[in-house]
Amino acid sequence: QVQVAESGGGLVQTGGSLTLSCAASARTFSTYTMAWFRQAPGKEREFVAAVTRGASTTYYTDSVKGRFTISRDNAKNTVYLQMNSLKPEDTAVYYCAADRSGARLEWAARSDSRYEYWGQGTQVTVSS
């Protein structure tokens, strides 16, 4: 069983920055595709960003392109989400997810059903 744990959430003002971290216990972490999803109150969970196995490719939802950056450090079994120019609409619980199959195609990396392992989530609140 792979354990996934997020950290780094908090309260920030509009225009501010936060970096989320996600540590995974997988022995073969580098072969996993890792992703961030988020769920705002009253809304469905949505894809935010993904980084494929080996960090060869990254994908983003349109609303965060140019503001968020996903990266991974395979030596530390950790994936990061650097969030800049935050907006109130970014307020949500952010979840880290791990896909053991290491999906590379964009449609797969965006699909939450691909991810077997999920963290508990970390709250990000952006005040206006």
Classify residue 103 as exposed, middle or buried by CB count within 10 Å of its CB (0-12, 13-18, 19+): buried
What b/e sequence results for 47-67 when a residue is b if at least 16 CB atoms lie within 10 Å of its CB, and e otherwise? bbbbbbbeeeeebbbeebeee
Q: Residues 16-51: pLDDT tens digits?
A: 999 999 999 989 999 999 999 999 999 999 999 999
Contact yes or no for 125/8 (Cβ under 8 A): no
**CB within 8 Å of 127: residues ≥ 6 apart:** 11, 12, 13, 14, 88
Phi-psi region of 66 (alpha: psi -120 to 50; beta: other; left: phi over 0): left
pLDDT tens digit at each of 128 positions of the chain: 899 999 999 999 999 999 999 999 989 999 999 999 999 999 999 999 999 987 679 999 999 999 999 999 999 999 999 999 999 999 999 999 999 988 889 999 999 999 999 999 999 999 99
